[in-house]
Every structure is written in structure tokens, then in C-alpha cells.
Amino acid sequence: MPVSYLEKTKIFKLDAGDSTYVLRVADEGYLLGLYWGAKIPDADFEGYDLRDYASSFSPRNEIVGEGRFSPDVAPVEYSGFGTGDFRKTPAALRNADGNDATDFRYAGHRIHEGKRAPAGMPGLRADTPADCETLEIDMTDRTTGAALTLFYTVFKDEPVISRFAVLKNASDRPLEIEKLASASVQLNAMDFDFIHLYGRWGAERNYVRAPLAHGHQSISSTRGSSSHYHNPFAALAKHGADEESGEVYGFSLIYSGSFDITADVDYYETTRVNMGINPDGFLWHLEPGEVFETPEAVLVYSAEGLGGMSRAFHRLWLNRLIRGKYRTEKRPLLINSWEAAFFDFDADKLVSFAERAKEIGIDMLVMDDGWFGRRNDDRSSLGDWWVNEDKLEGGLGSLIERVNALGLKFGIWYEPEMISPDSDLFRAHPDWCLHVPNRPNSIARHQYVIDMSRKDVRDNLWEQINAVLSKYKIDYVKWDFNRNLTEAGSALLSAPRGEEIFHRFVLGTYELMGRLVDTYPDLLLENCSGGGGRFDPGMLYFSPQIWCSDNTDPVERLAIQFGTSLCYPASSMGAHVSMSRRAGFETKGNVAMWGTFGYELDPNRLGEKDLEIVKKQTADYHRYYELIHYGDLYRITDPWDNAYRCAWMFVSPDKAEALYTQVNMRYYHCPFLLVRFRGLDPAKNYTLEGTGKTYSGAFLMNAGLNLSECPRGDGSSFTLHFVRE
């Protein structure tokens, strides 16, 4: 059984794949986190949680541990604020008496097969109840009557534990949640490096690694979305852990709004990690009997370095999070009109794109921004989701018929969460944008944010979207989100519920996206937010792919895609070949192939030489689709530690084939280059395609190949394809 309870010692033991997580109920109902790490067969943790108080400045509980127990130093699993634990705590409730002292103690538990997701939010799924077991631990604040349930789900064959918390106001008076984390994790050391992904528009998810120090290190967003600037992912890696060896603890939050992940090191050199909704700008009011549920957090343990952690996350998102037809079905190869035409297009221009796209093996034409309302630039019409027939002469139906007649599918762009001041919708309903009384609204990209917390707003948007999708044959929707939330208030939310708007906005977005994918299960949905500004597991639940970045330069894309791959699989990374200036089409294609692959250009501008290269790329897309979308990723050389090149490879799950890709960011001066490959079967032989030469997997991984004769020039690249005999 993956979850067991030892009645005698009051220990919970959670065995997840090759990892173990241990909890214990101590005297007076304190729930303690004793261990998380490599799998262990036994659970004799006597004295393991004993941490003597330091001085009178660490308040003691005289009943527990012969008077030596202090919540200030004990590994309390889910600690409250203001009752003796002075570290960063996961919970703080303001009660009807006006104070926020919070203290949860164990009240009971249940163990059962299967799992559920938090209400109204994405979550991991079990295909059958037998796939996993869930531990529910009931906790009570005996003073306020607040009832907390901690959910732990263990997937039997994966090093993964998912967690969330549910709080019920079981008292007869209101209370307010100031902070309620999805998970709090206790680690018995501080010899870790804190790894996270930072960035900005056009340079998302750069890798950063720094040693933990006393105090706390955190990443967060207060923008109402997960953002370009930090991603809701972090890892703690043991000092010296690298791509393929050493212990790594991964943390990811299935959420698309403001978040916080904090690692707090105490003076006993132990570490606590809290993760969940950002408490800044958050306050949730609970009347008696009302319930609040947190987003789901995911914990991954790897003893095989960062690569092992990444591959565990990749398999998890592919098998347990991404849903719908295109989780497993091959996706169409698309060309998007944005960089080819921006707002300047008509039906004939789009059909000309489709005609040339058909010649080079593309499956779908996507019409981006500019098809609706009176939209000829970014200053108007968001919210007016009716077809601009002045631009699309003959109407949308005629255009789609012409594209379909060529054998191509058709896609369309939306930005439902935004509204233009210059729109019919805003003129009719000026209170439908986010706003606060007596304060001017900030403008960004000439648009406001629509109030997704309101059901009447979502119903109006759905009626408009559904009117188009139900009438026309549309196979793909790109859902964009091009600014963050400011003046975040709603006309329908006032005190004491005003600060609920950030979370209610996210819940509203999830509800509308859910309507879309449930009503149109054959639709391919791709998320976007000025590129990768909302690249998070919450969005992956609805859309199997997300536009990775608006920056399509292949050399700059290397860092973006390397960083993204720490947590997210290649099949989720929207990556296109564009007319960017640096590097040729070979390299552009090799970089974009590490992702969903597609084109962002005017195909009529391709010369004969580039046209032939593109035709080969579209053939390679189909040839390597399964290997790249569902294979195991091994990062060989990253673009931060090497000034000249970066390289990666995909290995099929059965290790029958592998594809190695190398991109030279600048000329490589050294005339000797030996590369050792990874992930192969050491006992089998592999043939290097195009050479006829055969090597054992052991040779390729341990001795390696001399690649000195391969291209080394600025922006050059090459691939090597190995097939097992």
C-alpha cells in the first residue's frame, strides 16, 4: 500500500515510486513532518523529531516531549501564525475577535483509493481509483473552530505527491483567511541550492541557482497571473547535484494566478518550503459553514539529478494533467499569420498563405489578431467578438471554405479576458472591466481587463464565442492574455469580499475555458500571454500547448526552452520557425523542433533554397513527432554553462531510437569535441543514421563520439539520429 498508518507510533508513511514521505502525530495533536527523500523500507523514527528549544524565546509546550517541545523549532507540518512558530507559516486566519492567532491540531484521518481536484480548479487525475491513494488529515483550530483538511495523494509508480488544503468555517462566527498555503514541507537540512525560473517578456524562464542561506528566499507573482517574471516552479538541489546525479526536490503549483513559493531556513539549519496563493492582495471571507479550497501543489523527488526531476514532471503532466483529444492524438502542423501580416490582411492574402503552406506540407492556417469588430490595430474592439466582414469580404465562412478546400484546417485568435475602451461592449457596460471606485484605470496595450469573476460577463463572452465556433468549422483557438491585473476590483464585490477578486478572476477564467473545451472536445486550444506570460500547469490542464515566447530568435530561444524544460515537456512548448535575422532555416527548424513546431512567417517570401529546407522540416516533424512529444529529454549542454554551444537529446521510452541536436551559439574555437550521450540501453547496439556505423549504447554513453568534424560556425546546428538494432 502506498499510504500506511502505523497506529502504535502514529506514523503516516507515504511511498511514492522511489521516494518516501513520513508524518507523525505527536502529543497534543501536533502533526510533524519527519522525512521526505529516497525510499526507505522501515519507519522507526523514534526521537527523530526531537529539537530542543533554544531559550525562553522559543515558547514551550510543557506537556509534549517532557517539556522540551517548542513549535518554534519542531518540524510542524502545517503551522499556524502567532502561536509559537516564528518561521514563515502556511496559514493565518483572522477570527471574529480581531486577532490572527492560528493553531491547527490533528483530529482524524482517512485513507482511500483515488483522488479529487480542488473545487473549480485544475488538478491531477487518476485514470482509475486504483492508480493512487489519498490521505486526508483533519485538523482543527480548537479556539476558533476552523476545520482544516490536508489532502496528500500518492501515485504508486511515480515519485510524486500532490497536495492541497480545504478550510471550513465550522464556527458560528465569520472568519477571514489571510494566508492558506497549498503545501508546507519540512526538510531536515539546508545544504541545498534554490533553483527557479525568472525572466521578462521575450526572455522567459531563465535558469538561476543559488545556495540557500539563513532566512528566506522566495519567488512570487502579484500580477494576477503566473507571469513572465517568475514561474510557479522551484527546486531544491543538494549541493553538487547536476543533470544526472544527486538529490533534487521539485515543487510546482497547478495555478495561473498570483502565487508564492518560499524556502525558509531556521537557526537549526532546517528548511521549510511553503507554496500556494500569494497572501499579498489576498483576503478571503468565510461565513459559518462556508469552505475555501487551495490550488493543488505537486512535489517530485529525484535521486537522479535535475534530469530525473524534469522527466518525472514531464511524464506527470502528459499522463495525469493534460487532457482531451490532443493529449495523445497527433496535432496539426500550423502556420500563424501574426508575424506575416499583423493586422494587415484580408481573405485573399490569408488564402495565398494557405496555398503556399499546402505546398510545403503544413496542415493548418491560423488567423491571428484582427478579424473581429473594427480591429485594424490594437486600440479597439476587444470584447466585440463578431466577424469584421469589411476586412473578410464574403465573411468568415467563405474564407474557411477556401482554406479547407486546399486541405488545410483553420484556426482563430481570441483574447476573452480583455476589453477595449473603444468597443461596443465597453460602451454598453463600462462597469464590466476591473476597476475600483474613484481611481482612474491603468491602461496597457490600449486595453482594460474584463471582470472574469462575474458570471454575467462570462455568459456574454461565451455567447459571443460560441456563436462563432458553432457556426463555422474552426479546429484551433489561440487564447491570448496581453496584460496583468491593476485596479483589481469588481462592481459586485465590496467589503469584506473585495480582496477575493484576484482568486475569483482565476476561477472565472477556468470556468470559461472549461466551457470551451467541454463543448468542443475536438478543438485544439493553445494558450498564450504575450508569449509565455502564463506558462503554468493550470493552463496546461485546458490546453496541451502554450506559446513559449514571443521571441522566436532561435539563439535566444535556447535559454527560454532550456529553462522551460526543467518542469514542462516538449509537447507543451509552442515553438515556431520565423523570419528572425539570426541563423538560417536549418537552425531555426532544429530549435523549433524541440517543441510543438510550426511557422510564424509569410510563406510567399520563401526563396527556393529555403523552401526546400522547410519541406524537409515538415517531413521531419512527422518523422520525429512521437520521439519528441513522448520521449525522454536529456539536456546535454546548457546555454548558461557553455559559451559556445548547447545540446539536448530525446530518447524513446523503449530506448529504440534517439535524436541528438546541437546548436552553436557562436563559433567554437576548439578543434576537438567529444560528446557522451545519455539515456540509451548500454547492452544494445545503435546505428548512426547516414553513416552505417554501429556502436553499443555503453560506448556512446561512456566513451562518446568525436564530433569535431560537425558544423561549428556561428548559428550553425546539426542533428544525429540513432536507431537500435
- Residues 538/256, Cβ–Cβ less than 8 Å: yes
Residue 660 β-bridge partners:
649, 720
Cβ pair 350, 342 in contact under 8 A: no
In the three-class reduction of DSSP (H, G, I as helix; E, B as strand; rest coil), residue 540 is classed as helix
The alpha-helical segments, DSSP class H, found in 451-583 are 455-469, 501-519, 537-542, 554-564
CA distance 76 to 93: 17
Q: 467: which 3 cell numbers? A: 456563436
3-state secondary structure of 308: helix
Number of other residues whose CB lies within 10 A of the CB of residue 668: 20
Could you tell me which residues come within 8 angstroms of residue 196 by beta carbon, excluding any fewer than 6 positions away?
Answer: 208, 219, 230, 231, 233, 234, 235, 261
For this structure, is 550 an active site residue?
A: yes
Cα–Cα distance, 533 to 32 (Å, whole number)? 37
- 47: cell is 526521537
631: left (phi over 0), alpha (psi -120 to 50) or beta: beta
Residue 520: which residues within 8 A CB-CB, separation 6 or more?
469
| Catalytic pick among 15, 85, 264, 550 | 550
Q: Are 56 and 84 in contact (CB under 8 A)?
A: no
Give yes or no for a contact between 490 and 458, defined as CB atoms under 8 angstroms apart.
no
Residue type for position 312: A
Please tell me the distance from the alpha carbon of residue 106 to that of residue 522, in angstroms, as a whole number: 46
Phi, psi of 671 (to 5 degrees): -80, 0
Q: Are 9 and 49 in contact (CB under 8 A)?
A: no
- In the residue annotation, 459 being an active-site residue is answered as no
According to DSSP, the residues that pair with 196 across neighbouring strands are: 208, 234
Q: 103 and 85 in contact (C-beta within 8 Å)?
A: no
Catalytic residue among 100, 260, 384, 480: 480
Can you say whether the dihedral through the CA atoms of 395, 400, 406, 411 is positive or negative? Answer: positive
Print burial letters for 388-418: b (CB count within 10 Å at least 16), e (below 16). beebbeeebeebbebbeeeebbbbbbbbbbb
Q: What's the CA gap between 700 and 692, in Å, rounded?
A: 15
**Active-site positions?**
480, 550
